[in-house]
Chains A and B, each alone.
Chain A
């Protein structure tokens, strides 16, 4: 294929890719989310600039050059970059699918997708860190100067491209066999372990190697370029080998055991919806992952609170207590109705089924509070919190925080893709953003003020009373939410349908 045609196809594919990103249903339907995403990228860029400047100043007074100090740990940036890429990028073998039947040679397509992987804005994102860092610690020094900075930035960029191809190789292998998921973990742990216990060869070596870029040592550049070429060729070979595997890939259909859960039968229709909630967690990747992360986060915070002095005083103490109880609810209820969006028509064609569903969800989340209650026994036993505070949070969460989160059932209208392997962000509205923020901050302020004014015992008692009132009135506020949901039902149903297979 001549270069002109190659360029034409490259341009067309780039255009299609840009359109697919631009027309992603999540953004197309929600201007706020679009602006929010751009805002987050800008924020991250500012954050990196800040850290770049901070590190340059921090290392300025050391025994070594600031850039040498940082370059010792360049591997950490590469590891970080590797894991951030996780879940964000498809493999070329997957991307090539729609073009497979077109009159374009597979080889050309593979080259295009691989080149695009190297020539990608993401590979320069970390420059928001390295450029300000380099300006202060390299360009302004008399012996390196601007040419040193350019060499350094070029070298770092090459390393990130190398990382992109290494990530791609791993990602493709994982698609082929799950066991490859261990490869980067083993390699990175081994590297750091040997680096630390065998005379710092890794850190000194990376420092010297990076110094090579600053001094425009051709050997350093050639080494990285050679590594990129090797990984490119290996990727090309592997992608071509796996393309038919990817195209013909059929998910293995697992046989599932029918779960009766007869102990829930006594609760009638609510019991049926409770079963549905449990099966949704067990059988859907995304929901299961949120559940597991929620439990792990709760466990970590409880352990840190119980056994370290990290969160012993002030606002952080209150924050952790509330957080442990509310985190699972916040993680899941911010997307309440997202799972049900998949079968909303079925629900809506049955009388008051959404009301029963909301009730079942409420009881389920109340039951789930037993987990933080159990975990929080340790901090209570070590005297970090009083029993009253624990009970206060235990009742305040379902009585005052959950009603706040359940309001989102009225506004949420994006269907959650249940079969995807990696959770995509479904925070898609102003309502979700502000309600989840409020659900976290307001209870913290309430608890902080109550404990400060009345002490931990009476503060806890007042929280308990407030919470129990909310729990006692749950039929009333759930019914009110259901009524509001019914008022917005057409708008929500239409959006659920539109995002069902997005």
Chain B
């Protein structure tokens, strides 16, 4: 079940809100098959970057190009790349007056996936759903935040995307579900070769699953690590500890 090879190229990408520069990336390439983790403190620009990649925000300058073996798509110029992309950022992706079963069925139909195939897919996520999502006859808006998160993530995976973008996927999940989520992403990447972009405040999980980690600060990628880099974990931990240290010094001052 290999998916097509997808890479993402960011070029002179800049987003400004008022006077605040939310994102400013000169060039950055996410290679096909990468599991890229975006880490950074609040306001670093992680969600803004995902929204820009998904063409949900207009950049002030630059553009995002999604490349497959056969074609290149500038995301703001066409919609074809959406057919092989799956994403979940927040509740704005969920139709909350549907039940999860109805929502999955809806997502399946608009992606031309047969009912049998959807059922087959959902079976794979049974452990992750832990019997609390499907068949409950509850509207999505009446589910807990964790279960809503699960619905969004599964919906993003339903069309077996070659490019998967998940913003804070570990949020709201209980420890068991976080682990299940971690294995699920690892397996998905191994089986399909899909390019996966994940942002998270959970350093442990992010560092575990990602083949590459980008550290964002005030909208800029200040460091780009490969999993092979022996000093990656130490440096990232040092960065965040340093931030806490700086804040403490500032407070004392």
Contacts and interface: CB of A to CB of B under 8 A. Distances in A.
Interface of A: 251, 253-259, 268-269, 271-272, 275-276, 279-280, 283-284, 342-346, 348-353, 356, 418-419, 490, 493-494, 496-497, 500
Given A280-B97, A500-B92, A494 B57 contact: yes
Interface in B76-107: 79-80, 82-83, 85, 87, 89-90, 92-99, 101-102, 106
Contact of B89 (A253, A276, A345): A345
Contacts of A344: 92
A418 B139 CA distance: 13
Contact of A279 (B56, B90, B98, B110): B98
A256 B79 contact: no
A283 B139 contact: yes
B58 A346 contact: no
B138 A349 contact: no
Contacts of A493: 56-57
A253 B90 CA distance: 22
A356 B110 contact: yes
A254 B139 CA distance: 8
A496 B51 CA distance: 14
B142 A253 contact: yes
B112 to A, nearest CB: 8
Say whether chain A's binding surface is mostly helix, strand, loop, or mixed.
helix
Interface in B44-72: 54-58
Given A269-B109, A349-B56, A494-B57, 5 more contacts: A256-B137, A258-B102, A259-B102, A283-B139, A349-B93
Contact of B101 (A258, A271, A280, A352): A258
Interface of B: 54-58, 79-80, 82-83, 85, 87, 89-90, 92-99, 101-102, 106, 109-111, 137-139, 141-142
Of B90, B97, B139, chain A has the most CB atoms within 10 Å of the CB of B97
Contacts of B98: 276, 279
Contact of A269 (B57, B58, B90, B110): B110
A255 B137 contact: yes
A343 B94 contact: yes
18 contacts: A253-B138, A254-B142, A255-B138, A256-B137, A258-B99, A269-B109, A275-B106, A276-B95, A276-B98, A343-B93, A343-B94, A346-B93, A348-B55, A349-B54, A350-B82, A351-B83, A418-B97, A493-B56
B95 A345 contact: no
Contact of B90 (A271, A345, A351, A418): A345
A253 B93 CA distance: 22
A345 B56 contact: yes
Contact of A349 (B80, B82, B101): B82
A390 B102 CA distance: 39
B80 A256 contact: no
A268 B102 CA distance: 15
B47 to A, nearest CB: 11
A470 to B, nearest CB: 27
A60 to B, nearest CB: 57
Contacts of A353: 110
Contact of B97 (A271, A272, A284, A345): A284
A255 B55 CA distance: 36
A257 B98 CA distance: 10
Contacts of A271: 109
A349 B95 CA distance: 13
- Give the interface centre of A253, A349, A356 by most chain B CB atoms within 10 Å: A349
A272 B102 CA distance: 10
Given A257-B137, A272-B106, A283-B139, A343 B95 contact: yes
A415 to B, nearest CB: 9
Nearest to A497: B92
A419 B98 CA distance: 13
B141 A419 contact: yes
Given A283-B97, A353-B110, A342 B79 contact: no
B94 A346 contact: yes
Nearest to B165: A349
